[in-house]
Chains A and B, each alone.
Chain A
Amino acid sequence: MSLSLTRGAQAALLVLAVAVITRLLGGQMAWLVGWPEALTVPMTEWVGAAVGSFLSVFKPIARFFSLLLSYPMTWIGALLGYAPWPLVLGGVTALGWMIGGLRLAALGFFGLGFVVLSGYWAESMNTLALVVVSVPLALVTGAAIGILAYEYPRLKGPVQALLDIMQTVPTFAYLTPLLVLFGFGPVVGLIASAIYAAPPMARNVLLGLERVEHEIREAAVMSGGTRRQQLFLVELPAATTQIMVGINQSLMAALSMVIIAAVIGGFDDIGWEVLLTMRKALFGQSFLAGLVIVVFAVVIDRMSGALALQRPAQDRRVAWAMLAAGLAVSGWALAAGWNPDGVAAFDGVADRVDDAVGRFTATNGAALDAVKNNAMFYGLLPLRIGLADAVLPFTWGFSWTAKHGAIFYGATAAIAGFLVWRGHLTAGLVIGVLAIMLETGISQLPWPVVIVGAGALGWVSGGWKLTRLVVILLGLILISGLWERALLSLYLSGASVVACAILGGALGLWGAVSETAWRVLRPVCDLLQTIPLFVFLIPVLMFFQIGEFSAFLAICLYAIVPMIRYTRHGLINTPEELIEAAQATGAGRWQTLFEVRAPYAAPTILLGLNQTILYAFAMLVIAALIGTTGLGQSIYLALGQADVGLGVTAGAAMAILALVADRLVQGFAEERRRALGL
């Protein structure tokens, strides 16, 4: 009998069995639900002690390093700080011209013009100085890592794992150790953003080198150069386009991280400005400061993105003329004593936006409360603490009794039975598991269910090796004493990911079928991805106050973007011949979409889901500023209390959750790709 079961069905059967057993016996045996206190190890203290002794050994070296870095930092800061703004404006415009002609020149001119008029010139130059120093650091480190992994294939596995860790451990978690190690000041922000910005470079360098064509490589070997000559003179140049993509990604990552690092201060930059206005709950003003970052991100993204493309040479004389114009205006500004810091041309707009948020809250208070209460009563609360606890007279109008439980499980059994009868065995079993999850609530799930469930998913998606990895990693969280917090984080990010997958998938579909829709969606996606995450928190808080629903919304706002992008990208990139074949057999537009495009796009969409999961975990830490419980709060608390052990352990737990989710989804994506023969 068991031979005829598919892998998925076997896994689902096992999880269902574990869930039923723990559900039935959980009442008598408490250790089946919560991990016994006695078996918890003081992981945070161990980690704190270990990291502490590590820090004290490496502190002198790190301090020397940070002294070294402070020189270029000061020079560039002074250069950008004292350079007259018209000269910088002219320079960027000229650079835009050289890279991409009139279009990019205009982008540079209006973008930096906006910054001048916003009154945040000095602060934004400080931010830029940080990026200018941290990005080369990230690029060199990233390239070195990438080349190393390429030259020594044995290192590839460990390097990939390292890169994953660098990207998933929340920055907040390692800010405190960095602070102790490198001392107070902008250097910490610089290093934090370099750590975050290096992986994209490393990945792209590795990918680019691996894709260098065989003939090119052989020609290099035959011409008889040394290995180093081959690498630097032939293979790296051949991989330029991919490396340029890496530089672009690296720049964007550094820019987004510089803002987060502003939390520790030491540098009067835009991130600090955003934090100050956020403390006063001034949405308009913090949105304005955030827009300055968006402008920088767009200018840097488009210009560095264009570098990766083939482009025609531009007339140098035009660039010189632009620079000369900048110089001339600088002379005038110096003579006239005109200083952009006092302009603040948009403060009126900012105030009005802020007032509008206030008025909206005032006039729609009742409606907003109703939205929140419904979402809480019928969605989030049952997910967190289960129907059995969430259904109460003042929420659903009645209390959950044994009778309701019987009806609920009866209905579940009927649906599952029907599915099994129709031949969908796995689906029926999964429905059973989900019903038990909904009745107990994610934050109260017995630990064997979570571990066995994740392990089973791993087995289906990637085989025994993945199961082993998943079980060991989750086991580490279990014995560390952070399990309950991890479940709360899992619940909040899980709820957000599901909402993002449904809504983002729908929006991506809409963007794929309608060009007009995409023209509206695209700038919104760009904005949501580049504006400092803190900015979202204020309107969400104003409308829905402190609580899980606000955190849920804030996470969704950020994490929905990759789902939209990848869904659309996957759907519109179906090979023409497949569509033509479908149309030849008489399929209509929607039929083609769902039966040809959607299956073909599945791996890409799964990749989008994967990114959405990683984004949701990243935002979880920021959402702690709203007031959530769970790992995000622990990380933030550790930062405040300078508790290195708690910070690093909670950060590691968060990274583990993200990694496990990432590996599981990638396993499924890989399987789909194989099934499609890609």
Chain B
Amino acid sequence: MKATLRMGLSAVALITASAVGAAELGATDEPIKLALNEWTGQHVTTRVAGEMLMAAGYKVEYVTAGMMNQFQAIADGDIHATLEIWSSNVSDQYAVLKDEGKLEELSDLGLEAREGIAYPAHVADLCPGLPAWEALQDCAMNFATAETLPQGRLVDYPADWGTPGADRMVGLDLPFKAVPAGSEGALIAELRASTEKKSPLLITFWQPHWAMSAYDVKFVDLPPGEPACFEDPAWGPNPNAVNDCDFAPSRIFKAGWPGLKEKWPAAYEILVNYTLSVEDQQPMMGAVDVEGRPVEEVVSEWIGANQAKWKPVVDAATQ
């Protein structure tokens, strides 16, 4: 369903692009500032977009910015666009600024994300029956720790990202207590320690993420996350609760400064039409995080080898 929606969206984008035709370049002597957040995937996404803008004749400046703190900067025009916002992890401030018209949502990135309850592969031996979620019912005690006894332990997202893991455990009536991680680093340390020690671990996690392959992380199979599951208690295995299913698909999108359109019309069009798929992003992330190569190098290599994927977007906006 999501795929068709995206195809529809890009079709619409194509139509508008061809209808409007080439746009003015605008202020090419002033740099367009793109936000670089804290994770590698976002660096890849941003630098690919930056290369595209430069190919169109713009100056681009990369500004490091905290994911959560960048929105005020975009509203003030200190940063002009941020290209990888996860709907599952966005501050209230974003919605506020967007409603006030100080920030403009630019369209979906097209990166297909998945969130879920996950475990490193070796945990399947400690809880036979995985990945089926019903197996967790019986082996919860294997996941118990000093803080959660007599329940099992689920490592949830940091508190400021919400408590999706805890909601699922309640919805599915599983004997697990959710412990919020403090940061992404804490989640990775958990995965790393569990893999090193071959100890049990149940964790709320997402992909695309380099750790998915580095620690061979698998998702637990949960009932599909359909909208009905979140509204109708009767839906799903637990007749008395909502949230008794997998995560709703998360949306990854771009946002920018409202003045972008007037100041750099063609750049605006490029950024709106720009998409990047998991198949393209994930290998680049791997090259950076696993092989330790610099992002700039990996991205410029990809730009050179994949003209067909990005050139049309730039051409449509400028020619």
Interface residues, chain A, CB within 8 Å of chain B? 175-176, 179-180, 183-185, 263-268, 272, 275-276, 278-281, 358-359, 361-362, 365, 369, 372-373, 376-377, 381, 392, 394-395, 537-538, 541-543, 545-549, 623-628, 633, 636-637, 639-643
Q: Is the CB of B147 within 8 A of A642?
A: no
Q: Is the CB of B72 within 8 A of A180?
A: yes
Q: Is the CB of A266 within 8 A of B65?
A: yes
Type the 1/0 row for B58-73, where 1 means its CB is closer than 8 Å to any CB of A.
Answer: 0000011110111111
Q: Is the CB of A365 within 8 A of B64?
A: no
Type the 1/0 row for B205-244, where 1 means its CB is closer than 8 Å to any CB of A.
Answer: 0000000000000000000000000000000000000000
A265 to B155, CA, bound (A): 27
Interface residues, chain B, CB within 8 Å of chain A? 36-39, 63-66, 68-73, 76, 78-79, 91-93, 145-147, 149-150, 155, 158-161, 179-186, 188-190, 192-193, 196-199, 289
Q: Is the CB of B91 within 8 A of A547?
A: no
Known: A365-B196, A642-B93. A184 touches B182 (CB 8 A): no
Shortest beta-carbon distance from B258 to chain A in Å: 16
A183 to B75, CA, bound (A): 10
Known: A184-B73, A545-B193. A279 touches B183 (CB 8 A): yes
Q: Is the CB of B39 within 8 A of A279?
A: yes
Q: Is the CB of A183 within 8 A of B76?
A: yes
Question: Using Cβ atoms and an 8 Å threshold, which residues of chain B touch A627?
Answer: 158-159, 179-183, 186
Q: Is the CB of A365 within 8 A of B182?
A: no
Known: A265-B63, A268-B64, A377-B146. A538 touches B70 (CB 8 A): no
Q: Is the CB of B197 within 8 A of A272?
A: no
- The chain B residue with its CB closest to the CB of A642 is B93
Which of B91, B146, B182, B289 contacts A280, CB < 8 Å?
Answer: B289
Q: Is the CB of A641 within 8 A of B145?
A: no
Shortest beta-carbon distance from B145 to chain A in Å: 7
Determine which residue in B73, B93, B149, B185 has the highest number of CB atoms from chain A within 10 A of its CB, and name it: B185
Question: Using Cβ atoms and an 8 Å threshold, which residues of chain A touch B147?
Answer: 376, 381, 547-548
Q: Is the CB of A392 within 8 A of B182?
A: no
Question: Using Cβ atoms and an 8 Å threshold, which residues of chain B touch A268?
Answer: 64
- 10 tightest A-B CB contacts, nearest first: A184-B73, A640-B160, A365-B197, A541-B189, A376-B146, A627-B182, A642-B93, A281-B188, A362-B196, A265-B65
Question: Using Cβ atoms and an 8 Å threshold, which residues of chain B touch A266?
Answer: 63-65, 73
Q: Is the CB of B181 within 8 A of A546?
A: yes
Q: Is the CB of B68 within 8 A of A362?
A: no
Known: A365-B197, A626-B182, A642-B93. A275 touches B192 (CB 8 A): no
Q: Is the CB of A542 within 8 A of B192?
A: yes
Shortest beta-carbon distance from A190 to chain B in Å: 15
Which of A184, A543, A633, A641 contacts B72, CB < 8 Å?
Answer: A184
Shortest beta-carbon distance from B12 to chain A in Å: 32
Q: Is the CB of A542 within 8 A of B189?
A: yes
Determine which residue in A185, A359, A373, A546 has the highest number of CB atoms from chain B within 10 A of its CB, and name it: A546
Question: Using Cβ atoms and an 8 Å threshold, which residues of chain B touch A639?
Answer: 68-69, 160
Determine which residue in B78, B180, B192 has the highest number of CB atoms from chain A within 10 A of its CB, and name it: B192
Known: A184-B78, A265-B64, A365-B199. A546 touches B73 (CB 8 A): no
Known: A266-B65, A280-B289, A541-B193. A547 touches B145 (CB 8 A): yes
A358 to B182, CA, bound (A): 21
A401 to B179, CA, bound (A): 29
Question: Using Cβ atoms and an 8 Å threshold, which residues of chain A touch B39?
Answer: 279
Q: Is the CB of B188 within 8 A of A184?
A: no
- The chain A residue with its CB closest to the CB of B148 is A547
Question: Using Cβ atoms and an 8 Å threshold, which residues of chain B touch A358?
Answer: 192, 196
A628 to B186, CA, bound (A): 11
A142 to B299, CA, bound (A): 47
A625 to B158, CA, bound (A): 8
Q: List 18 A-B contacts (CB under 8 A).
A: A179-B69, A183-B76, A184-B70, A184-B78, A279-B39, A281-B188, A365-B197, A376-B146, A541-B190, A541-B193, A542-B189, A546-B182, A547-B147, A547-B179, A633-B159, A636-B159, A641-B92, A642-B68
Q: Is the CB of B72 within 8 A of A625?
A: no
A279 to B189, CA, bound (A): 9
Which of A264, A545, A633 contacts B189, CB < 8 Å?
Answer: A545
Which of A280, A361, A624 contacts B185, CB < 8 Å?
Answer: A280
Q: Is the CB of A546 within 8 A of B190?
A: yes
Shortest beta-carbon distance from A26 to chain B in Å: 25
Question: Using Cβ atoms and an 8 Å threshold, which residues of chain B touch A175?
Answer: 69
A480 to B186, CA, bound (A): 30
Q: Is the CB of B155 within 8 A of A641?
A: no
Q: Is the CB of B181 within 8 A of A361?
A: no
- The chain B residue with its CB closest to the CB of A623 is B182
Q: Is the CB of A642 within 8 A of B186?
A: no
Determine which residue in A265, A268, A626 has the highest number of CB atoms from chain B within 10 A of its CB, and name it: A265
Shortest beta-carbon distance from B307 to chain A in Å: 28
Q: Is the CB of B72 within 8 A of A381?
A: no
Q: Is the CB of B146 within 8 A of A372?
A: yes
Q: Is the CB of A628 within 8 A of B182?
A: yes
Q: Is the CB of B160 within 8 A of A641?
A: yes
Shortest beta-carbon distance from A409 to chain B in Å: 26
Question: Using Cβ atoms and an 8 Å threshold, which residues of chain B touch A281?
Answer: 185, 188-189, 192
A543 to B193, CA, bound (A): 7
A278 to B149, CA, bound (A): 29
- The chain A residue with its CB closest to the CB of B181 is A627
With A184-B65, A376-B147, A625-B186 already in contact, 12 other A-B pairs whose C-beta atoms are closer than 8 Å: A184-B73, A263-B66, A275-B38, A279-B183, A279-B185, A280-B188, A361-B192, A365-B197, A549-B146, A625-B185, A633-B182, A640-B68
Which of B76, B91, B150 contacts A394, CB < 8 Å?
Answer: B150
Q: Is the CB of B70 within 8 A of A265?
A: yes
Q: Is the CB of B160 within 8 A of A392?
A: no
Q: Is the CB of B193 within 8 A of A542?
A: yes
- The chain B residue with its CB closest to the CB of A351 is B292
Question: Using Cβ atoms and an 8 Å threshold, which residues of chain A touch B289?
Answer: 280
Q: Is the CB of A264 within 8 A of B65?
A: yes
Q: Is the CB of B92 within 8 A of A637?
A: no
Q: Is the CB of B38 within 8 A of A264?
A: no
Q: Is the CB of B197 within 8 A of A394?
A: no
Known: A545-B190, A643-B92. A381 touches B69 (CB 8 A): no
